[in-house]
Amino acid sequence: MTQEKRPLIALDFPTFEAMKDFLGKFPEDEKLFVKIGMELYYAQGPRVISYVKSLGHSVFLDLKLHDIPNTVYRSMRVLAQMGVEMTNVHAAGGVEMMQAAKDGLRDGTVKGKEVPLLIAVTQLTSTSQEILNEDQNIQTSVQDSVVHYAKRTALAGLDGVVSSAQEVALIKNATSKAFICLTPGIRMAGGDHGDQKRVMTPQEARKIGSDYIVVGRPITQAKDPVDAYYQIYKAWNEAI
């Protein structure tokens, strides 16, 4: 099992115990790539990261930083010391802020270890045309804004963006093939969509060029989470 082909599991659990129970279902030698978001991190702090890392799993720390460049630099320096594999910022913070984030990760990484991948959120999928026009006062289409932010992210030297699978081709055309597109909103054919409106199967996401997929509830809420993970793993890898 090669590392880059693991679907990321969104560990959207409210407590440390719930997360621990979930991870305990997997065989010890199954090294996962998990996404830890704000809820778990704000509730439990860095011990979540050290626990998950102690089991040998890889971590995408999804905290979406957005602040002045100096604050983001200093925060990223701290996050890099935790040894996460990937983290993110909001592209709306600007090129200078994104570069500061990258510098912080570089400066905080323990010597000899790899600098974490850094990706940006362009527009949240909850941002409608109305929100874009009225709240943000951006007078373009959501899609144009996404592509614009992706270009600024590439210009800042970041590794990629979080995007919907539907936008991957557009983003890669505007940046480069190597520019990472990490895509949530993944469901197995016939699976429950939950609150996700536009979904893709792992196979479709792979074919369309997604580099990483993030899957939460189809695995975490499954009757047999380990089996669900293997099914998605298989679908994601069989597509090529």
- Regarding 194 and contact with ligand C5P (CB under 6 A), the answer is yes
3-state secondary structure of 119: strand
Q: Kindly state the number of chain residues that form the binding site for ligand C5P, as judged by CB under 6 A.
A: 14
Minimum CB distance to ligand C5P smaller for 40 or for 98: 40
The neighbouring-strand residues paired with 183 are 213
* Rounded Cα–Cα distance for residues 178 and 117 (Å): 13
Cα angle value 210/180/131 (rounded, 5°): 85
Closer to ligand C5P by CB, 64 or 151: give it: 64
In the complex, the smallest distance separating the C-beta of residue 201 from ligand C5P, rounded to whole angstroms, is 12
Element (H, E) at 162: strand 160-162
What is the C-alpha to C-alpha distance for residues 208 and 202, in angstroms, rounded to an integer?
10
Least separation, in Å, of the C-beta of 112 and ligand C5P? Answer: 31
| Identified binder of ligand C5P from the candidate list 216, 232, 233, 235, rule CB under 6 A | 216
**CB of 69 or CB of 199, closer to ligand C5P:** 199
Q: Based on the number of CB atoms within 10 Å of its own CB, is 40 exposed (0-12), middle (13-18) or buried (19 or more)?
A: buried
Site mask for ligand C5P (CB under 6 A), range 131-160, x = bound: ------------------------------
Backbone angles phi, psi at 44, to 5 degrees: -115, -15
Is residue 162 involved in binding ligand C5P (CB under 6 A)?
Answer: yes
Which region among 65-73, 77-85, 167-175, 216-224 touches ligand C5P (by CB under 6 A)?
Answer: 216-224
79 binds ligand C5P, rule: CB under 6 A: no
Residue 184 within binding range of ligand C5P, rule CB under 6 A: yes
Active site residues: 64
How many whole angstroms separate alpha carbon 140 and alpha carbon 93? 18
Q: How far does Cα 39 stand from its chain's mean position? A: 15
Q: How far apart are CA 110 and CA 72, in angstroms?
A: 18
Binding footprint of ligand C5P on the chain (CB under 6 A): 10, 12, 37, 125, 162, 184-185, 194, 196, 214-218
